[in-house]
Amino acid sequence: MVGQSPVVPLEKYFGKTAQFPLATTVAVKKGDIVALTVPTWAPALALGFGKGTSWRASRAKGQCTTTGTQTAQTGIGTSVQYYCLYQTARLTYSATLISTP
């Protein structure tokens, strides 16, 4: 992990589209992964897609059905494997690229 925003309480945004600008720019290169870290829970999944649609979570290998333990990647400079692949759903967040000339 190379950068992150502060924790944002999301409850008042449920069911809406919101943008949260970062106070500090995170340089992103082609091939980098931009992820959403949720320390508890957020309604950020769209369901009912085919098996060609998927998302990954940073749970340990073999722990993909264990959801009671928090596994969010939260430390700058850390690296984890995203072993758990969940199919037929997708995350409903996006990141906006603001390029500089």
Residue 23 has pLDDT above 70, yes or no: yes
pLDDT digits (tens, 9 = 90+) for 45-98: 899 999 999 988 888 888 888 777 777 777 788 888 888 898 999 888 877 777
User: Distance between CA atoms of 8 and 16, rounded to whole angstroms?
Assistant: 15
Q: What is the pLDDT of residue 60?
A: 80
Residue 101 pLDDT class (50, 70, 90 cuts)? low
User: Distance between CA atoms of 20 and 55, rounded to whole angstroms?
Assistant: 22
- Strands, E, within 16-96: which ranges? 45-47, 54-57, 84-87, 89-91
Q: What is the pLDDT of residue 100?
A: 65
Q: What is the pLDDT of residue 87?
A: 93
pTM (predicted TM-score): 0.66
* Domain chopping of the chain, boundaries: 1-101
Q: What is the pLDDT of residue 88?
A: 94
